[in-house]
Amino acid sequence: MKIAVVILNWNGETLLERFLPSVMEYSKGADIYVVDNASTDGSIDFLKREYPTVGIVQNKSNGGFAKGYNDGLKNIEADVFCLLNSDVEVTPNWLEPIKDAFQSLPNTSIIQPKILDLNQRDHFEYAGAAGGFLDMFGYPFCRGRIFQTIEKDEGQYNDIKEVFWATGACMFIKSEVFRELEGFDEDYFAHQEEIDLCWRAKNAGHKVYYVGQSEVYHFGGSTLSNMNPKKTFLNFRNSLYSITKNLPRKKAMPIVFVRLLLDAVAAIRFIFQLKFDHCFAILKAHLSFYANFIKMYRKREKANFILKYYVTTSIVWSYFVHQVASFNILVKD
């Protein structure tokens, strides 16, 4: 199995300098590439000088996460792409459990490892943790992370488990599947495009897994912090995009209506927290969604839609009302 570890970079020379050494040291047998989104810092010169064996693909513009990978991966040949954030530290033997899982789990096309916090190494990291899920209304959460509550890693997710979505911070995907799905939806620009990709993969009959025997450490927030209003805008809007694209019409439209109400509650909550910029970001997210609704609706999959896409009715109700902050309490296997 030929794996290409592909790092998307935009003006990230300092991140490459800090995190690329672990990738080079612990990724024996894999090809290492950096896809550069038209950086204006010294990233390219640094790579050519310090890491001449790293393949470099230079995109003509900064099209964000989605377009950046779509354009870059057209120039890379491998059986499996590992899409790796530039702020991730990998560990010894991180690739072997992933290879074994691809070979032993039928119909598996996407895998993520355990994502731990580089700054608090015994805790899961916000972006992906131990695998992603959705509630009925399309709100994403993870094993190990529900909203802003992060669990300590005590071995509770040292397993191999089918999940609904894998994080774009470190996602392994078969190249043939990435091309079959025509890559990421570039209208997302950034954030939750991996959820949409995984949802489309599941609609097409593929499986997504989490493999806890493979561990990486994510710095996190190097592009946008969890509480950046722009990230709030992208997360709320792109979540609505995914619902519109990936559910049957009779289910999608009522859920979009309920989301209007639930997102309004979230906006009001931001007001009480004096986070007015986040409230405005939610408003802008809905306006952008409505302006692009027809475009998104026309992208709906022709394949059969999966009906069981969620593991709980409302993560908002469970977390804020019942104060459930652990996946293993929320969902009983």
DSSP 81-145: EEEE-TTEEE-TT-SHHHHHHHHHSTTEEEEEEEEEESSSTTBB-TTTTT-EEEBTT--EEETTE
Mean of the pLDDT values across residues 14-39?
A: 98
Q: Which band of pLDDT confidence, cut at 50, 70 and 90, is reported for residue 220?
A: confident
- Exposure pattern of 210-222 as b/e (b: 16+ CB <10 Å)? bbbbbbbbbbbbe
pLDDT for the residue 52: 98
pLDDT for the residue 227: 72
Tokens of 284: 């802008």
Q: Which band of pLDDT confidence, cut at 50, 70 and 90, is reported for residue 223?
A: low
pLDDT for the residue 221: 67
Q: How many CA atoms lie within 13 A of 16 on its CB side?
A: 27
pLDDT for the residue 222: 54
pLDDT for the residue 300: 84
Whether the pLDDT of residue 117 is over 80: the answer is: yes
pLDDT for the residue 225: 59
Mean of the pLDDT values across residues 218-225?
A: 71
**Distance from the first to the final alpha carbon of the chain:** 32
The interaxial angle of helices 249-272 and 229-246, nearest 10 deg, is 160
User: What does pTM read for this prediction?
Assistant: 0.95
pLDDT for the residue 224: 58
Q: Do 138 and 244 meet the contact criterion of CB atoms below 8 Å apart?
A: no
Q: Which band of pLDDT confidence, cut at 50, 70 and 90, is reported for residue 190?
A: confident
pLDDT for the residue 303: 63
Q: Among 144, 256, 157, 247, which Cα is nearest to 202's?
A: 247
Q: pLDDT exceeding 90 applies to what percent of the chain?
A: 92
Domains parsed from the chain with CATH numbers: 3-218 (3.90.550.10), 229-330 (no CATH)
pLDDT for the residue 273: 94
Mean of the pLDDT values across residues 208-218?
A: 98
pLDDT for the residue 22: 98
Whether the pLDDT of residue 333 is over 80: the answer is: no
Phi/psi at 232 (nearest 5 deg)? Answer: -60, -45
Tokens of 195: 């959820």
Distance, in Å, from the CA atom of 60 to the CA atom of 169, rounded to the nearest integer, reads 23
Distance, in Å, from the CA atom of 226 to the CA atom of 264, rounded to the nearest integer, reads 19
Mean of the pLDDT values across residues 198-205?
A: 95
